[in-house]
Amino acid sequence: MEHLRIPGPTPCPEEILQAMTKQMINHRGEEFGQILNEVTAKLKILFQTKGDVVILTGSGTGGLEAVIVNSLSPGDKVLSVSVGVFGERFAAIAEQFGAEVIPLCFEWGKAADADAVRQALQAEPKIKAVLVTHNETSTGVTNDLASISSVVKEFDKLLLVDAISSMSSINLPVDDWHCDVTVTGSQKGWMVPPGLVMVSLSQEGWQAQAKAKMPRFYWDFAKAKSYLEKGQTPWTPAISTIFGLSVSLEMMLREGLANIIARHARVGQAARDGVKSLGLSLFAEEGYASNTVTAIAAPDGLDTKKMLRILREEHRVVLSGGQQRLADKIFRIGHLGWVNEGDIEAVISALKVVLPQAGFRSAR
Ligand SMILES: *Cc1c(COP(=O)(O)O)cnc(C)c1O
């Protein structure tokens, strides 16, 4: 088997893939309704919420668009707290739909600073909502969402969270941290193929939803909720992916959320220790390195493209390069979902062989 160590899609256990080979069922029938209700109840446990969770069919970016168009109206001022590619994407969607985006950008590799968020909110009282990426997959940084959230709530603003690559892997108690609308995607920490986005909404999230005027049809949380009450989705869902998610949630609840979070912390630590032992440096600011994706600064002399190719062709280890302006500047190891320390060891041993072949001369 290939060692697919990218930050999504992630490998899926055999039981989950098997569940997805089942014959189609009527998505307006009783059997599907039961599965949808069970899956939704289990998702709430992993989101650590008593609020609503809705399941939509689409990729993570579709989920980000859904969050924007269900929460905002054209002309609304929003503060975009951005530390990388996905933060910029969230802001770009808001802007595309007519929000007035006030950017608060931090250097890539650094975490967002809660005090800077406070200053930005003080400077512009008309801001309605704050956009935050919990775990910035492009830079391997996990923001201190608890602190950012407490600032956002000092000002009583709506908090919209991209938790696509953190939810279920890194602690994110949605209710305790007052996240109003929070989105994740099936192909990240959930051990399921792409196809589903899962979104939680607080009371305030629903109040905003009822007033939001941005154009929407397919992405409508209110429709999703009213159909969920009948055990249905408004449109044909990715039924097979829901079959997979149903098995994955059973596995996750058997392991327990606290254990899953602890496993990701161990795996993240193993990845960081491993790359440092090879003489490499992390791209993420100390103390904010993510437990689901490790970004490594490409050292002088290293040809990252060549390294990724040799890893893939000769070791069947698949890692990610950097995105946009980080291309050739970093490479990334994804370690979320179905992953343990042994998987990281395999990556580190392969890197040890390949780094010198791709031009890296360690100082050690
Ligand atoms: C993967 C990811 C996305 C985009 O998801 P797609 O499924 O590729 O559309 C958005 N935000 C974050 C933080 C991600 O990790």
Lowest mean pLDDT among 88-92, 179-183, 282-286, 360-364: 360-364
- In a shared domain, residues 35 and 172: yes
In terms of Cβ atoms closer than 10 Å to its own Cβ (0-12, 13-18, 19+), residue 126 is exposed
For range 26-50, the mean pLDDT: 98
Domain span at 326? 3-7+256-357
Q: Give the pLDDT band (50/70/90) at residue 361.
A: confident
- In a shared domain, residues 138 and 26: yes
- In a shared domain, residues 225 and 166: yes
Per-position DSSP letters for 225-288, written without gaps between them = HHHHTTT--SS---HHHHHHHHHHHHHHHHH-HHHHHHHHHHHHHHHHHHHHHTT-EESSPTT-
- Give phi and psi for 332, each to the nearest 5: -135, 140
Give the per-residue pLDDT at 362: 74
Q: Whose CA is nearest to atom 12 of ligand 1?
A: 164
- Give phi and psi for 362, each to the nearest 5: -65, 145
Look up residue 176 and give its amino acid: D
Give the per-residue pLDDT at 1: 78
Helix axes 239-255, 257-277, angle to 10 degrees: 90
Q: Give the pLDDT band (50/70/90) at residue 364.
A: low
* pLDDT averaged over every residue in the chain: 97
The ligand 1 atom at the shortest distance from the C-alpha of residue 135 is: 13
Centre of ligand 1 to C-alpha 297, Å, is: 21
For the domain that residue 270 is a member of, what is the CATH number?
3.90.1150.10
Q: With the CA atoms of 61, 324, 311 and 299 taken in that order, what torsion angle do they form, in degrees rounded to the nearest 10? A: -140
In whole angstroms, give the CA distance from residue 335 to residue 264: 8
Give the per-residue pLDDT at 66: 98
> 250-274, pLDDT tens digit by residue?
999 999 999 999 999 999 999 999 9
- In a shared domain, residues 182 and 67: yes
The ligand 1 atom at the shortest distance from the C-alpha of residue 136 is: 13
Decide: 357 and 310 in contact? Cβ < 8 Å: yes
The ligand 1 atom at the shortest distance from the C-alpha of residue 187 is: 7
Mutate to test the pocket of ligand 1, among 61, 65, 80 (most ligand atoms within 8 A of CB): 61
Give the per-residue pLDDT at 363: 58
Q: With the CA atoms of 27, 32, 36 and 42 taken in that order, what torsion angle do they form, in degrees rounded to the nearest 10? A: -150
Q: Whose CA is nearest to atom 4 of ligand 1?
A: 60
For range 331-353, the mean pLDDT: 98
In a domain, residue 349? The reply is yes
- In a shared domain, residues 198 and 250: yes
- In a shared domain, residues 178 and 307: no
- In a shared domain, residues 53 and 194: yes
Decide: 56 and 66 in contact? Cβ < 8 Å: yes
- In the chain the first and final C-alpha atoms are separated, in Å, by 32
| Percentage of the chain lying above the pLDDT 70 cut | 99
> 94-126, pLDDT tens digit by residue?
999 999 999 999 999 999 999 999 999 999 999
Q: Which residues line ligand 1 (CB under 6 A)?
A: 7-8, 59-61, 86, 133, 135, 137, 162, 164-165, 185
- Among 254, 284, 316, which residue terminates a domain? 254
Decide: 219 and 54 in contact? Cβ < 8 Å: no
Q: How many distinct structural domains can be found in the chain?
A: 2
- Among 239, 254, 269, which residue terminates a domain? 254
Collapsed DSSP state (helix, strand, coil) of residue 96: helix
Centre of ligand 1 to C-alpha 167, Å, is: 12
Please write down the long-range contacts of 259-264, taking CB distance under 8 Å and 24 or more positions apart.
260/168, 260/169, 261/169, 261/170, 261/171, 263/339, 263/340, 264/169, 264/170, 264/189, 264/291, 264/292, 264/335, 264/336, 264/339
Centre of ligand 1 to C-alpha 161, Å, is: 12
Centre of ligand 1 to C-alpha 361, Å, is: 34
DSSP 298: P
In terms of Cβ atoms closer than 10 Å to its own Cβ (0-12, 13-18, 19+), residue 230 is exposed
- Among 254, 281, 314, which residue terminates a domain? 254
- In a shared domain, residues 234 and 294: no
Tokens 């000769």 sit at which residue?
314
Mutate to test the pocket of ligand 1, among 164, 186, 323 (most ligand atoms within 8 A of CB): 164
> 167-196, pLDDT tens digit by residue?
999 999 999 999 999 999 999 999 999 999
In a domain, residue 55? The reply is yes
Centre of ligand 1 to C-alpha 269, Å, is: 23
- In a shared domain, residues 292 and 193: no
For range 238-257, the mean pLDDT: 98
- In a shared domain, residues 324 and 314: yes
- In a shared domain, residues 153 and 272: no
Q: Which helix (H) or strand (E) holds 309?
A: helix 304-315
For range 58-70, the mean pLDDT: 98
Q: Whose CA is nearest to atom 8 of ligand 1?
A: 60
